[in-house]
Every structure is written in structure tokens, then in C-alpha cells.
Amino acid sequence: MKEDAANNYARGHYTVGKDIIYLVLDRIRKLADQCTGLQGFLIFHSFGGGTGSGFTSLLMEQLSVGYGKKAKLEFAVYPAPQISTAVVEPYNTILTTHTTLEHSDCAFMVDNEAIYDICRRNLDIERPTYTNLNRLIGQIVSSITASLRFDGALNVDLTEFQTNLVPYPRIHFPLATYAPVISAEKAYHEQLSVSEITNACFEPANQMVKCDPRHGKYMACCMLYRGDVVPKDVNAAIATIKTKKTIQFVDWCPTGFKVGINYQPPTVVPGGDLAKVQRAVCMLSNTTAIAEAWARLDHKFDLMYAKRAFVHWYVGEGMEEGEFSEAREDLAALEKDYEEVGVDSVEGEGEENKRNISTQIKETCLHNFSQTKNHILMIINVSILCLQRECISIHVGQAGCQIGNACWELYCLEHGIQPDGQMPSDKTIGGGDDSFNTFFSETGAGKHVPRAVFVDLEPTVVDEVRTGTYRQLFHPEQLITLRKMLPITMPVVTTLQEKNWLILFLTESESWLTSVLDFKVSSSSTPLVAAPDPDSPPS
């Protein structure tokens, strides 16, 4: 029997999700107990799916209760403008954004349509698959986490992402950009310089969310370089960027860049589409341009909700209809927040209302960001080099699990871990850096186990992890589906007619589900019947 959230936020949050939440929390607790200094959680999910939206929001609420101030960073797949996996994506996205807004410290955004276009244009893939998309997203995640796993000149940890990218608690949705995205054929003829890959990150076509940064203002940029990169080249590249008129920063925030440099060069999956390059950069930028993506989604929500379309499916799962209005109002306030932070501080006497940007926003920004202007902010993160600060990755729903599969494949290739979890005897862990243990725990048998949990209410995608190349990496308890929570004894049926009737019955009569599941039919019993008369055979 298939049991999932059916693209329904309420189902993932209130009904089906409640059946599995405590099992998931127990698995997370076991991983946390193995940590000497848990730094936080990395949560991978989509905004549009039922599990990715509903169950993730429920989980993050519980993590806030159980783990207090531990950092919670999201890697979220945002609904694309033209490509949709479900009609109700706007409902799910706005509901989960509203619910998680106070529980998430930072949410890195990508959308499928933007990545599809990048794969077609840069990699010459006519029909990109989820594997192509997820491996590209994996490169972004790898770049963001590289400083947690490898030594480098300028490292960045989870708390620094928040400090340098989030000027105000609600304004925590940075865009992700990665360069170079280049095929092996092209890479054979060219190796891009630091200046070229830096410039590429500011091109609208390379943004991994469909919005134009030229229509907004930057509040912060975090540049994460890998490979053959030296601070002098980075300094020169960013100095050039600052001279461009098309790249604007809000006037109340310094035009400084947070920079991370990691000497570990980018790794690619053998036989994949991405080329092996000497250097790469991932840019995380908090820009007011993301407001156009929120506005686009809010408009779709309004069109459906005006007719109360599909609302009964949510109410039928125990959700109050008032939550729709409450969530929509919160998103309208979020749009307003982005509009206000983009307003210049001084605009003349006649613009008093515009100049009344929230004092709290300004004070928070000035506190979080360095007062130094017009130069690169380069801070060596001593704590990461000295302390073992573990992170637990939680992969939720189809998108979260598939991205997780791609990420752990890449991590293993980067660290030289074999599919069985063993590391060759001639290789030192993480290149000699103890921070390797932030993502892996080592068992007594020398096996390296990811600090990760995979969760999906429907087992198909988790089964891909369970049977994939790196299946031996994970303990069975780390792979969780609702199937483990429902020990169902299905009726025994012997004829094709009985099987077809049973399928039809389960499909059309959900209210009878409990009684049907408790009903056993032996091979010698009277055939199942659809009519109240027990002696009447099925038609």
C-alpha cells in the first residue's frame, strides 16, 4: 500500500506526518548523542511537496523545542515560475514558509527551472534529468560545507552564514549561484580565472532562482572559493565588481563581502556532465530581488484561494481554513519587509514614510555586519580549526532525499571514502583535518557513517538510497519511511477479480480504510463484496 502526503501540506503536517515524527526525532536524538559539540542541522527539502512542506515544518518546530538555539539551515527547492510538480504548490509553499519563518535561521534557495536552463545552456543537455539537477545542487552544498570538512585559508562556519547573510531574522532567504558550470568538452580548452568566475556569479542567467538581481539591491554577499585561489586575486575581482553600476547595495549596509577560500579543488562524479576544474566559487547573496519570487507565488495563491479551490483537501486533514489567511498575511508582511529594507535611508523631506524603515532592522544590520566599508571582510574561523563541531543533515521528501543522495556521493568522493564506508589505509581522514568528523562518525570497525537521516512518507525514493551505490554507508535506522510505522496485514486475495475489486474499493472509499485493513480474507473464504449483503458476489 502506498501512503504519502499526496502533495498536501496538511497531510504531511497534521495527519500522516504525526505518525512518524517521534520516530524521526528519536533517530535524530541518537545521532546528536554521538556528537561532542553539535553545531546545528542542515535540512534539505522542497517547498512545494506535501512531505517537503508539511512534515518539514512540523519537524523544525520540534527541533526548536528540543534543541533550542542550535542552528537550523535549510537547502530549499523553491517553486519555479513555469515548471510545477503539483497544482497546489502555492498553497504548500506559503503555508510552510509561514510556519518555519521563526524556526529557520537561513534558507538557501534554488529552483528547478533556473537549474534546468543552466544545464541546457552550459552543459548542452537537451533534456536534463533530476540526476543532472541534483548533482549541480550537490556542488553548491559541497562548496558551502567545504570549510566545515577541509582546511583552508579563510573558513566559514554555520554561525558565520547567519551573522553575515541575515541582517534581520525574517530576511533570511539568500540566493545561491555557482560558477563555473561547464562541460568537459569546453573545460578542455579553457580554465576560467578568479575574475571570470566571480563576474559569472553576478550574471542573471546564472542565478539558481528565477529572479533578476538587477531589479533589487544586495544586502550581503558571501563568496566561497575553492581550489587554486589566492586572496590577492579575490581582492582584485571584487574591487572590479564594486565599480559596476548594475550591482547595487542598500545604503544602510556596508558594501563588504564575506569571503571563504578553501584549497580543496572541486570534485566531480566520474562520468558525469560537470567538468573537473581548477577553481570554482559559490555565491550566497541576500538580495531584495527575491521579493519578485514571493510576489509571483502570492499571486498564484490568491487566484486559487479566491475560489477556495482545493481547500477542502486541507481542511479534511484537520487544518483550520483560517491558517490559509494567516499564512497569506504573513507572506504579504514578508514582501513588505523586503520592500522596506531596499529603501534608501535618506531620500529628502517629502519621503518621510519611506525613510521610516524599521529601526530594529537597521540596528540589527549594523550590529551583524562589520563597520568597515569598501574592502573584503576576511575572517579566519579559529573555532572550526580547533573544535569538532558536528552537523546533522536531514533529508526530507523526494527532493530532499534525492539531493541528499547526490551530496553524500560527492562527499565520499571528496574524502576518498569507499562505497562500503571504509577509507583506504594510505589516506588520512579529511586530508588530515579533524573537521572531517563534522559530517561523518567513525565506528569501531573503521567504517565512516554519515551524520544524516533520510525521511519520506512514501518509500520509493528512500529505497533508491537503500539500494544505491553508497547503500552500505547508512545504518538502516537512518532511512525512515512510513512503511515502517504501518505493520499492515492486507487481505489475502486469490483471483484477479478480487484484486481489482480491492484496488477499486481502497481508492474510492477512503473512509472505510481502517475496517478494510483489519479484515482478513483466507483463500477459502467468501469473496470480498461491495454491497452490504455479505452473500452477494462481486459484480
Q: Indicate the pLDDT class of residue 71, thresholds 50, 70 and 90.
A: very high
Cell match 512518524: residue? 20
Mean pLDDT, range 408-423, rounded to an integer: 90
More confidently predicted of 207 and 345: 207
Q: Are residues 455 and 518 in the same domain?
A: no
Cβ pair 110, 177 in contact under 8 A = no
**Exposure of 488 in the CB half-sphere (CA atoms within 13 A):** 17
Q: What is the pLDDT of residue 80?
A: 87
In a domain, 158, yes or no: yes
Q: What is the pLDDT of residue 522?
A: 39
Please report, for the domain that includes residue 145, its CATH number: 3.40.50.1440
Q: Indicate the pLDDT class of residue 424, thresholds 50, 70 and 90.
A: confident
pLDDT in tens, 435-458: 678 899 987 677 889 999 999 988
Mean pLDDT, range 139-146, rounded to an integer: 93
Residue 509 cell numbers, joined: 472509499
Residue 351 cell numbers, joined: 519621503
C-alpha distance across the termini of the chain, in Å: 24
Burial of residue 75 (CB within 10 Å: 0-12, 13-18, 19+) is buried
Q: What is the pLDDT of residue 257?
A: 85
Mean pLDDT, range 63-86, rounded to an integer: 91
Q: Are residues 378 and 523 in the same domain?
A: no
Q: Are residues 406 and 524 in the same domain?
A: no
Phi, psi (deg, nearest 5) at residue 524 = -100, 0
Q: What is the pLDDT of residue 447?
A: 86
Mean pLDDT, range 43-55, rounded to an integer: 95
DSSP code per residue over 223-235: EEEEES--HHHHH
Q: What is the pLDDT of residue 434?
A: 57
Q: What is the DSSP letter of 278?
A: S
In a domain, 453, yes or no: yes
Q: Range with the lowest mean pLDDT among 241-250, 466-475, 504-513?
A: 504-513
Q: Indicate the pLDDT class of residue 367, thresholds 50, 70 and 90.
A: very low
Q: Which residues pair with 108 in a beta bridge?
A: 75
Report whether pLDDT(468) > 50.
Answer: yes
Report whether pLDDT(254) > 90.
Answer: no
Q: Range with the lowest mean pLDDT among 66-70, 159-163, 443-447, 459-463?
A: 443-447
Q: What is the pLDDT of residue 458?
A: 86
How many domains in the chain?
Answer: 2
In a domain, 337, yes or no: no
CA 204 to chain centre: 21
Cα 538 from Cα 504, distance rounded (Å): 12
Q: What is the DSSP letter of 317?
A: T
Q: Are residues 529 and 479 in the same domain?
A: no
Cβ pair 360, 337 in contact under 8 A = no
- Specify the pTM: 0.82
In a domain, 521, yes or no: yes
Q: Are residues 110 and 151 in the same domain?
A: yes
pLDDT in tens, 143-183: 999 988 887 666 667 788 888 899 999 999 999 999 999 98
In a domain, 1, yes or no: no
Residue 527 cell numbers, joined: 469473496
Q: Is 515 helix (H, G, I), strand (E, B) or coil?
A: helix
Largest Cα–Cα distance in the chain?
Answer: 89
Cβ pair 139, 280 in contact under 8 A = yes
Mean pLDDT, range 375-398, rounded to an integer: 61
Cβ pair 223, 263 in contact under 8 A = no
Q: What is the DSSP letter of 12?
A: I
Q: What is the DSSP letter of 183?
A: B
In a domain, 532, yes or no: yes
Phi, psi (deg, nearest 5) at residue 281 = -140, 140
Residue 113 CB: number of other CB atoms within 10 A? 17
Q: What is the pLDDT of residue 150?
A: 82
In a domain, 368, yes or no: no
Q: Are residues 428 and 530 in the same domain?
A: no
Cell match 455479505: residue? 534
Report whether pLDDT(489) > 60.
Answer: no
Cα 35 from Cα 485, distance rounded (Å): 27
Cα 224 from Cα 147, distance rounded (Å): 9
Mean pLDDT, the chain, rounded, equals 81
Cα 501 from Cα 364, distance rounded (Å): 63
Residue 284 cell numbers, joined: 550566497
Q: Are residues 189 and 278 in the same domain?
A: yes
Cβ pair 102, 332 in contact under 8 A = no
Q: What is the pLDDT of residue 435?
A: 63
pLDDT in tens, 291-349: 999 999 999 999 999 999 999 999 999 999 999 999 999 999 999 999 999 887 655 44
Q: Are residues 515 and 473 in the same domain?
A: no
- Among the options 74, 160, 292, 409, which is catalytic? 160
Q: Indicate the pLDDT class of residue 392, thresholds 50, 70 and 90.
A: very high
Residue 447 cell numbers, joined: 567504517
Q: Are residues 418 and 276 in the same domain?
A: yes
Domain span including residue 527: 491-539
More confidently predicted of 110 and 244: 110
State how beta strands 279-287 and 218-227 pair: antiparallel
Q: Are residues 424 and 404 in the same domain?
A: yes
In a domain, 314, yes or no: no
Q: What is the pLDDT of residue 387?
A: 53
- State the amino acid at position 336 in one-letter form: K
Task: Looking at 34-155, list the stretches that DSSP marks H as alpha helix, in order from N- to C-terminal side.
Answer: 50, 56-67, 89-100, 112-123, 130-149
Residues 6+ apart with CB under 8 A from 141: 42, 44, 75, 403, 407, 410
Cell match 525574517: residue? 170
Residue 102 known to be catalytic = no
Q: Indicate the pLDDT class of residue 188, thresholds 50, 70 and 90.
A: low
Q: Are residues 475 and 499 in the same domain?
A: no
Q: Are residues 477 and 506 in the same domain?
A: no
Cβ pair 111, 24 in contact under 8 A = no
For the chain, percent of residues with pLDDT exceeding 70: 76
